[in-house]
Amino acid sequence: MSCKVRLMEDGSLDEEPLTLKEIAYQKLCNNLDIISGTTTHGQRVLNPGIVLPNEICDGFLENYQRFNRPLDDSVINLFYDTQRTSLKIVNLRNSTLSSVGLETLMRHKLYALSMWYCDKITVNSHHLLAHYGDSLRSLELGISSHLLQNAEPNEKEPVDFQLTCPHLRRLVLNGVVMHHRLQFAHLHDLSHLDLTSCVLANFSLEALVMLPNLHTLILFNVWPIANQLHAICCLRRLCTLDISISSSGNGHGTYDLPDQTLEMLMDNLRHLTHLDISGTNLAGNGVATKESGNGNTKTEQQYGLTDIPGLASRTHRPLQFLGLYHTAHWACKRHDIPAFEVAGDANEQQILTAARYYHDRPVLLTRVLNDLYHLFRFENCKDIHTALDVVLSAMDRHLKFKHMQISGSATLFYIVKGRDRSKFGTLLRNHIIRTLLNGMEMHLTDDTMLRNGYLTLTQFHMPVDVLFEYERLIKILLHGVSKTEQEGFVQRIAIYLLNTLACQVDGRQKLFLGELGVVSTMLTLIKDRLTRTVFDDVMEVAWSTMWNVTDETAINCKRFLDGRGMEYFLKCLNTFPERDELLRNMMGLLGNVAEVKWLRPKLMTQEFIKVFARLLDSLSDGIEVSYNAAGVLAHIASDGADAWTIKSPTREHVLERMVAAIQRWNIKSERNINYRSFEPILSLVRCYETPQCQHWAVWALANLTQVYPEKYCQLVEQENGIQILNELIQHESPYCEIKRIARMVIEQCDSGVERMIEG
């Protein structure tokens, strides 16, 4: 497994950028219409005149899955014509292809076929190997690829099949029940055999003795195997032997004479360079014995020094790799281990080695990631880039394995939270975020997965770091907000993230938030808490989120009104009158609604106007509530006397109270508000028919430019505010106080420009 995360020359951690070829594949995968059309049944068909050579076809399938596209029968149908397309090496992972799609692929006389997590392939398709397997050199049937096994997890009846692939050099089977009639003798070229989790039943490994080129035998999680050891000892050419077990808790992996058994293997398999005995007791208890398995005494000088008695003969010729992960008596923690590389859990190097070697063993790999998690949480991991690569690779490869995603995401949290986060390059950052979203999307119903993912995402800069996956993230957050346990932590962190995103994105993305149902979801949360008379941070943030998504987005304001938003506003006001933060958020939202001219008639009711007028005198949250109430009334009043369709309170009385409130405010008041544009305020500056509206508008500009000159003086200049204010000063209608405040704004902006020039 090659390491993708690299330490760059500038000290940052990043991934290699896409090559030009990879960019071309990405473009093609996202735009299949470039080369194909669609039939009435939804199948992709190659356009006339297009011929794709083998290199492009193999690369297309690989990259289509790499860029997280669902590979199904429709896409695979592109390769139906074997005269215009050519496939040789096909690796399928998390594909939804059926027997039809598989036959389309195998008609190409494949050189190599690998399938992992292809749930729709059943044992009924195993005849395809007989028809098209003659050309195969490599066949890999991983987890949930039921070509040679029954799909039911408790079904241990063997499928009656023969490997009619005479030229196989590499064969990987996972969980297959091996029947005693299964023949291997004709597979003369077979050099690599992996029978992970297979059930041997009446099958004897003696069938492998006739394979002249077999150098690798993987028997991970195959048990019992003690009665097969003599057959294994006859495979003299073996260079790699794996007889490890994922756990010895059920007695599996426990040998009666561990030291002698391991010594017997070493004496017979003299070409071994890679040995895995993880989960077993074959490493002994660490106490060396003087007697060998055949009763002959061997001296320490003949053996050399080792803490693993059964490997005494390899002290002067160490193994290249030795798997000791979760062996009995903590063998991986011993000092003298005759191997250059050791997979174990004694230290960082052993854990990372285990993760590299066990990349396609999800149960075991999940435990390794847990070890890595504890390393990051309680200790210190030096090899950050290898650790990141290991975690991302594990999560990408085993997307459907829930515990892998949970463990990996927990580890990612501590990696991202660490001090090296600032060193992450853009490509690496994107990979981490995409991997998290993939896992969360796949396991949406698991609160632990969502919690880990949300917490890790909070460590990134919002929204800049996530804009490339904005749509997917919003959907996942909305699920967390609406589908999880009431008042649970997952719901709170999800709504916090949602509000953060809503606050800092542009109008196009706010429109998208509304289309996905953010407003209706927030109103549902508020209705629920009103029903239960519960005030919590979720209710407060729900109003804040709607305040943000309605900012300069009229359709979202309409969605609020159409969803009984004003009814909930009044109920919250009456039920929780002392909640300053709630009142501020609600009035901020109504300020946005009032800026939309064609929605203002919906606010023109006696009940609403009375409430807004009463809130002019509010001292809640400084001046915020009073300020927003005045803003709402100023916009409503700007439509003129004819638009004031209620008799009480009168327009004149409300405007008089509004001016009185404005005159009470401190012009230096700090604010809890964020304007991206002054267009709505400047439109009120031009409202000469109602000077009171101008009064509120110029006061707002004066306050913001006085308290936050660096931000808002520039905004006034950019939106032609100085000219509009000068026109107001020259006009005869506004009263003197309005003109005085307008001059304050102009002077403040002029001094701001001078400060910039001096700086």
306-318 pLDDT, tens per residue? 889 999 999 999 9
Does 732 reside within a domain? yes
The dihedral over CA atoms of 204, 206, 211, 212, expressed in degrees to the nearest 10, equals 160
Q: What is the pLDDT of residue 384?
A: 86
Beta strand pairing call for 274-276 and 240-242:
parallel
Summarised one tens digit per residue, pLDDT across range 702-711 is 999 999 999 9
- Long-range CB contacts (within 8 A, 24+) of 598-604: 598/554, 599/554, 599/557, 599/558, 599/561, 600/635, 600/636, 600/639, 600/643, 601/643, 601/645, 602/561, 602/566, 603/566, 603/632, 603/636, 604/636, 604/643, 604/644, 604/645, 604/646
- Helices H, strands E: what count in the chain? 30, 14
Pairwise CA distance, residues 554 & 596, whole Å: 6
The average pLDDT across 491-509 equals 88
**E strand or H helix at 376:** helix 362-378
Summarised one tens digit per residue, pLDDT across range 258-286 is 999 999 999 999 999 999 999 999 999 87
Distances (CA, A) of 642 to 102, 657, 691: 72, 20, 16
Residue 698 has pLDDT above 50, yes or no: yes
Helix or strand or coil: residue 242? strand
Beta strand pairing call for 36-38 and 44-46:
antiparallel
Pairwise CA distance, residues 624 & 635, whole Å: 17
Q: What is the pLDDT of residue 151?
A: 58
Does 491 reside within a domain? no
The average pLDDT across 723-734 equals 95
Q: What is the pLDDT of residue 462?
A: 87
Does 172 reside within a domain? no
Say which range, 81-90, 579-588, 619-628, has the weakest mean pLDDT: 619-628
Q: What is the pLDDT of residue 13?
A: 77
Residue 287 has pLDDT above 80, yes or no: no
Give the residue numbers spanning the domain of 682: 614-758
Residue 1 has pLDDT above 50, yes or no: no
Q: What is the pLDDT of residue 444?
A: 93
Identify whether the C-beta of residue 262 lies closer than 8 Å to the C-beta of residue 226.
no
Residue 2 has pLDDT above 60, yes or no: no
Mean per-residue pLDDT over the chain, rounded: 89
Q: Which two tokens stand for residue 505?
A: 């994105």
Summarised one tens digit per residue, pLDDT across range 237-251 is 999 999 999 875 566
Q: What is the pLDDT of residue 358?
A: 95
Per cent of the chain over pLDDT 70 is 92
3-state helix, strand, coil in the chain (%, to 5): 55, 10, 40
Q: Which two tokens stand for residue 645?
A: 């369709």
The average pLDDT across 660-686 equals 93
Does 704 reside within a domain? yes
Residue 398 has pLDDT above 70, yes or no: yes
Does 513 reside within a domain? no
Total number of domains in the chain: 1
The average pLDDT across 215-237 equals 92
The average pLDDT across 659-681 equals 92
Summarised one tens digit per residue, pLDDT across range 347-369 is 999 999 999 999 999 999 999 99
Does 270 reside within a domain? no
Does 692 reside within a domain? yes
Does 449 reside within a domain? no
Helices (H), 118-193: 127-132
Q: Which residue has the higher pLDDT, 386 or 753?
A: 386
Summarised one tens digit per residue, pLDDT across range 108-158 is 999 999 999 998 988 888 888 888 989 999 999 998 877 776 656 555 566
